[in-house]
Amino acid sequence: MLPLSLVRDPAQASVLLDPDRLRVLSELTEPDSASGVARRLALPRQQVNYYVRDLEKTGLVDFIEERKRGTAWNT
């Protein structure tokens, strides 16, 4: 069971009123990519990215690192 926290900041409370943002936050108890969270919640990755940015702006999640995916090109 996750610990409960009291949200006093109006901006944080506003972000958490959206059920999908709250679902994304609950999936981020451990670091994960937007793609991983999107897969588990059956949401588009772009939408999860948008929600994570909102959660980050209000201080509800912290950015850890960015990983580039794709094919490496040799020149």
Q: pLDDT tens, 8-59?
A: 999 999 998 999 999 999 998 888 888 999 999 999 999 999 999 999 999 9
- Number of domain units in the chain: 1
Residue 4 binned pLDDT confidence (cut-offs 50, 70, 90)? confident
Structural domain containing residue 43:
10-57
Asked whether residue 34 is domain-assigned, the answer is yes
- For 43, the token pair is 């949401």
Contact 12, 59 (CB under 8 A): yes
Q: So what's the pLDDT on residue 75?
A: 45
Asked whether residue 1 is domain-assigned, the answer is no
- For 10, the token pair is 């109006």
| Predicted model pTM | 0.77
User: What is d(CA 75, CA 69) in angstroms, rounded to the nearest whole number?
Assistant: 18
Q: Which run of H or of E encompasses 23?
A: helix 19-27
